Amino acid sequence: MRLTTTTVGTGSTGYFPRILGAAAAATALVVSATASVASAGPAATAAALREVMFVGNNWEGTADVIDSRGHFAKIGRVDVVPDKAQRLAEIYLNPIKLIYFLGIRSGPGEGHDQLVDDLYSTPDGTALVASRPSFADVVSIDLATGKLKWRFPVSGYRADHMAVSPDGTKVAVSASTANTVHVLDINTGAQVGSFATGDKPHENVYTDGGRYLWNMSIGNVETDLDSPLLDWTKGDRHLTVVDTGNYRVVKTIDMRARLNAFGRSDLSNAVRPAVFSPDSGTLYFQVSFFNGLVEYDVATDKITRVRTLPKNPATSDDRTTFVNDSRHHGLSMSPDGGKLCVAGTMDDYTTVVDRASLREGPLVPASKPYWATVSGDGRDCVISESGADQVTAIDFATGQKVVSVPVGDHPQRVRLAHVPVGWTSPAG
């Protein structure tokens, strides 16, 4: 039986099993590192690692490190913008960069700078790698010292969602104003490939064991031209699929024709967060302005089901009030492929959906949930509540809330990661 609670304080540390009658903290999860940094010699041995979660606090420019399961207790924090003064000086001395910087603040940043969007750890757990939208770059931060190890300025003026290859050695990042995805060596920051996308590339997903990389472009979500009659102003929105052996495009998919064929010409073709079934054969995704999800069969290239989820009666249907056109933004799947977890962003709830029936479970109240991922043990969906500055775990089996943990200002991406056993926050 699992212990259900509401909020855990920031002072607790370690991993506490949710088993009734548990009296003490369990030993931290220790695994062997699977890789070492590129500069390590052949005699180097991998350090023991602890599985954690990184929580990117977008408006604050920090990453909270929490346990990946159990009570998700806080372990430490990393400054993702240690070079903030230097970056701001460069921006303010460049009129074009300044225009885009202020545009990000007033547009997708909702009046705030976007200082950390996506984030992962290197395979050896020694560094945090993050995309920073307002600074238009990807950086690697040494988890021992808090200092930059490398920095990669993306093409254009904004960095967005990332994805890490299944073997952990490469990171793909969307350069949203350049309609480009860069693929970098995660240890060195060297570019190993790139490819062109539709307008405003967003989500990246590796499939088939890393053989393919999918990118979803969402178009011009920063405008208020949100009427269906003005949909043409949103730009070229399609999925780009590349072979990771050479980063050549093997297929482009415009969901407009597929949605029309299914009888849903009313839905946007701007694909937002997306998740594949374990066999990579079925894609589930959210689209702009829609409170629901879409099911797409990869082999037949057809949309097979669309599920509309409940609206919050307190949420306005005025599309211009939706954050960056996203009514719902956040989707994950249980490891067995049986359940989907949906973040109903503008409707202020999260729900677990049965994949077979596409019926939703309890609507768990949540304040502007902005992302959904899976806990390290696969038991929970973990969402970021950007409106409440906390992350919340929801049990896949019951659909009920398990625990909430306070984090920094405006949490967005939450990712599984690793740090060395015994790691503590860098000084300062």
| Per-residue pLDDT tens over the stretch 349-359 | 999 999 999 99
Q: Give the structural domain span for 163.
A: 48-420
**What is the C-alpha separation between 327 and 311, in angstroms, rounded?**
10
* 16 domain-assigned: no
pLDDT digits (tens, 9 = 90+) for 41-76: 333 346 799 999 999 999 999 999 999 999 999 999
Q: What is the pLDDT of residue 424?
A: 97
pLDDT of residue 223: 85
- 42 falls within a domain: no
- DSSP notation for 160-220: EEEEE-TTSSEEEEEETTTTEEEEEETTT--EEEEEE-SSSEEEEEEEGGGTEEEEEE---
pLDDT at 2 over 60: no
235 — phi, psi (to 5°)? 95, -170
Q: Rounded mean pLDDT of 367-385?
A: 98
Distance of CA 399 to the CA centre of its chain: 21
In sequence order, the 6+-apart residues with CB closer than 8 A to the CB of 406 are 7, 9, 10, 74, 389, 390
Q: Name the pLDDT band for 427 (thresholds 50, 70, 90).
A: confident
- Indicate whether 26 belongs to any domain: no
pLDDT, residue 35, reads 37
Residues 121/142, Cβ–Cβ less than 8 Å: no
- Dihedral of alpha carbons 355, 360, 364, 365, sign: positive
CA 257/CA 346 separation, integer angstroms: 27
The CATH number given to whatever domain includes residue 394 is 2.130.10.10
> Rounded to 5 degrees, what are φ and ψ at 135?
-100, 0
Q: What is the pLDDT of residue 225?
A: 86
pLDDT at 362 over 50: yes
- Is the confidence at residue 169, as pLDDT, over 60? yes
| Residue 86 domain flag | yes
Q: What is the pLDDT of residue 376?
A: 98
Residue 266 has pLDDT above 60, yes or no: yes
Cβ atoms of residues 149 and 165 within 8 Å: no
pLDDT at 344: 97
Indicate whether 61 belongs to any domain: yes
Per-residue pLDDT for 4 more than 80?
A: no
Asked if 216 contacts 203 with a C-beta cutoff of 8 angstroms, the reply is yes
Beta bridge partners of 285: 274, 294
Q: Is residue 31 part of a domain?
A: no
Domain total of the chain: 1
Q: b or e along 290-310 (b: 16 or more beta carbons within 10 Å of the residue's beta carbon)?
A: bbbbbbbebeeeebeebbebe
Q: What is the pLDDT of residues 6-30, one digit of tens each?
A: 333 333 333 223 332 333 333 333 3
The pLDDT mean for the chain works out to: 90
- Residue 311 resides in a domain: yes
> For residues 58, 63, 66 and 72, what is the CA-based torsion angle, rounded to 10 degrees?
-10
CA 165 to chain CA centroid, Å, is 14
Residue 226 to residues 76, 84, 230, 310, 333, Cα–Cα distance (Å): 41, 34, 6, 21, 30
The CA-atom distances, in angstroms, between 124 and each of 74, 82, 187, 427 are: 21, 22, 9, 21
Task: Give domain status of residue 121, yes or no.
Answer: yes
Give pLDDT, residue 116.
98
Could you report the per-residue pLDDT of 267-297, keeping only the tens digit for each? 999 999 999 999 999 999 999 999 999 999 9
For residue 428, the model assigns a pLDDT of 66
Least confident of 166-170, 318-322, 350-354: 318-322
Residues 131-146 pLDDT 10s: 999 999 999 999 999 9
Beta-carbon contacts of 357 under 8 Å, excluding residues fewer than 6 positions away, are: none
Measured at the CA of 187, the angle between CA 186 and CA 191, to 5 degrees, comes to: 55
Contact 206, 187 (CB under 8 A): no
